[in-house]
Amino acid sequence: MADGTITNSSGGDTIGALLARNASRHGSEIALREKARGIWKETTWAEYTEEVLEAAAGLEKLGVGPGKAVLILGDNRARLYAGMLAVALLGGYAMPAYPGATIEELKHFLGEVEIVAAIAEDQEQVDKILELKEAGSGGIAHIIYDEERGLGFYKVDGLMSWEHLIEVGRHDLNEDPRRREGFLHRTGPEDPAIFMHSSGTTGQPKGIVLSQKNVIAAVRNGHAAGVFDECEEVLAYLPMAWVGDYAITVAAALSLRFTVNVPERQETVIRDMREIAPTFYLAAPRSWDQMLTTIQVGMENSTRFKKWIYHFFMDRAIAAETRKLNGKGGGLLEPLGRLLGEALVFGPIKDQFGMSRLKNAFTGGEAIGEDTFVFYRALGIKLRQFYGQTEISAISAMQSPNEVRLHTVGKPAPGVEVKIDESGEILLRSDSVFSGYFNKPEASAEALEGGWLHTGDAGYLEDNGHLVVLGRVSEVMHTASGERYVPNYIENRLKFSPYIKDAAVIGAGLDELTAMVCVDFEAVGHWAEVHGVPYVSYSDLSQRDEVAELLREAFQRVNKVIPEGLRMKRFVSLPKEFDPDDGEITRTRKLRRKVVQERYADVIAALYDGSKEIHVSVQVTYENGETGKVERTLPIREV
């Protein structure tokens, strides 16, 4: 394998082979940086590979091997990434879980496969695993922790520090140095790389084992499509249990020798990003929205002259980018305005938010609002949309930098075939497609019928090859008059408003569409402060008449772009956000429609029976795990 190239995975490329290449040919290059106590600690590829090998040797002593799993629990940490790679070298299942996963969610994982060990970030996650064991779930004989604070007095069998695991592994390797080579070449392309899970919007999450061949093929496809270049600088802040994080910070980092920067804490991500200035950045639409809100808030709080300068250049840049997206040219003086704007406005903003070096910027997971998308393009960040699923190792279609359409997700990547079946479902075929759901032969046969991955998404291909994704096939619904609609498509467009965080559109089998929405507390709260609107809590703010006007404007905008028979007539603003701990959305913020409709059945009834208001009492889960009730009388609003 030549430097900088990814050969065909069937030729033997594996995680071990990539580690060996990086250590031998690029050993002095920086593989990882991790921030601790304000200082960035650097790890070279040679050092990183050695730590992964020592971890593999230590984990093998604990019984990790083919058919056995290791739970990875916590926020992004360098050692947790090393642990995932070590498990893959042993042919085992590295199984990352969301840091906020509940005991019940973790019990489901224990029922799938034998989990012999867990690698936990800190005391909080160790306590969760111990609680899981005390609940009679058994398994997990060994717990390895990264952060030792608070754990020094624990007397638990099988509990050990990462340092102790590495010491055991180092001793083992020193006794027989040939074992290093053995670990690097033990597994093949068909062996597991990672054990992930579906989002579980309609039931329990299904296990998805991606092979080393799958993930390396996905990187190859993405590289060929221009998603990322060699030696990118990336920030590891996305949840480790999300396939997007694994695809970038593990698979692509190994294959293309990225430098992965691990922030100190989730709370310091923005500051750490400013220090690193990554060259590649992937974020969900909500993250891009939040950053835009922060920029706008900052400008509103600046001096009158600074606001004038900002709007003078920003408004013109947005107008120019809008013309470009509509296929129209600009004026002769536009380049000069761009140059001045870069020096006075665009450059300083990008520098402030760590985006000064961004070459490849992406958003995915759901549709992004037109205003947000155009803003970043106008700022000089070539933001692009991409489409993928866990079952295809995250990467299937994406926009190229100079061929962007607001309503599409771009063209299929090289190495990915796309077709649309007679029902309108998107089908995919690639080496990056998984081999089936773990121990679920019926679901696997259905998902891979005919040799194609049935994505469950409805969409179509345009004449120019661009893919348009409408929403889930299972969510294609009809009103009482037979009008066809996809609620997720409408919900995403409602969420284009910075004031709406979540939405649930109602109307299947009914005469008209209505909706329940959850306001974005940060954005609406700031608007309220600027406009002198008093409030004491989320539930209070969400019911203010002034806020209802903001929401009404969002509904009216969406109603203009959907068929007349689907225009929404009434809505209600809920007194709490949809919460994964309450089971209303998944950890990736996908709506659990059945749960929401059952929990808010009285609200839905009031939207259709002519009521002017409805009194509700809904469950809320607090950060400490305790539950309570929110009671409120909600006005039924007319659009």
Q: Which residue, among 162, 124, 131, 166, has the nearest Cα to 145 in the 3D structure?
A: 162
Structure tokens of 75? Answer: 């926020």
For the chain, what are the domain ranges? 9-213+238-253, 478-638
With contact defined as beta carbons under 8 Å apart, do 144 and 117 qualify? yes
- Quote the pTM value: 0.85
Find where tokens 């203010």 sit: 544
**How many Cβ atoms are within 10 Å of 609's Cβ, its own excluded?**
9
Q: In this predicted model, which residue has the larger pLDDT, 193 or 473?
A: 193
pLDDT > 60? residue 2: no
Residue 325's H or E segment, with its range, is: helix 304-325
Give the mean pLDDT of 203-217. 93
d(CA 611, CA 281): 47
Rounded CA gap, 15 and 23, in Å? 12
Asked if residue 567 has pLDDT above 90, the reply is: yes
Residue whose C-alpha is closest to residue 279's, from 352, 360, 348: 360
- What's the rounded Cα separation, in Å, for the pair 435 and 441? 10
Homologous superfamily, domain 9-213+238-253: ANL, N-terminal domain (3.40.50.12780)
Q: Maximum Cα–Cα distance for the chain, whole Å?
A: 79
Mean per-residue pLDDT for 573-594?
A: 89
DSSP reduced 3-state for 385: strand
Of all residues in the chain, what percent carry a pLDDT higher than 90? 72
Question: Which pLDDT score is estimated for 406?
Answer: 79
Q: Is residue 70 over pLDDT 90?
A: yes
Q: What is the pLDDT of residue 101?
A: 87
Q: What is the pLDDT of residues 71-107, one digit of tens each?
A: 999 999 999 999 999 999 999 999 999 998 888 888 8
* pLDDT tens, position by position, 270-293: 899 999 999 999 998 888 988 888
- The answer to whether 572 and 607 are in contact (CB under 8 A) is yes
Of all helices (H) and strands (E), which one includes residue 558? helix 545-559
In this structure, the strands spanning 484-485 and 477-478 are: antiparallel
Q: 3-state DSSP call for residue 573? A: strand
User: Is 409 in contact with 424 (CB distance < 8 Å)?
Assistant: no
Q: Does domain 478-638 have CATH number 3.40.50.300?
A: no
434-459 tens-digit pLDDT: 999 999 999 999 999 999 999 999 99
Higher-confidence residue of 7 and 112: namely 112
Q: In what order do the strands lie in the sheet with 39-44?
A: 39-44, 30-36, 259-262, 233-235
Strand, coil or helix: 478: strand
Which of 570, 564, 575 shows the shortest CA–CA distance to 604?
Answer: 570
pLDDT digits (tens, 9 = 90+) for 45-63: 999 999 999 999 999 999 9
pLDDT tens-place string over residues 509-549: 999 999 999 999 988 998 999 889 999 999 999 999 999 99
DSSP string covering 75-99, please?
A: S--HHHHHHHHHHHHTT-EEEEE-T
- Predicted confidence at residue 201, as pLDDT, reads 64
Question: Strand pairing of 514-519 and 259-262?
Answer: unpaired
116-157 per-position pLDDT tens digit: 999 999 999 999 999 988 876 667 999 999 999 999 889 999
Tell me, what's the pLDDT at 8?
37
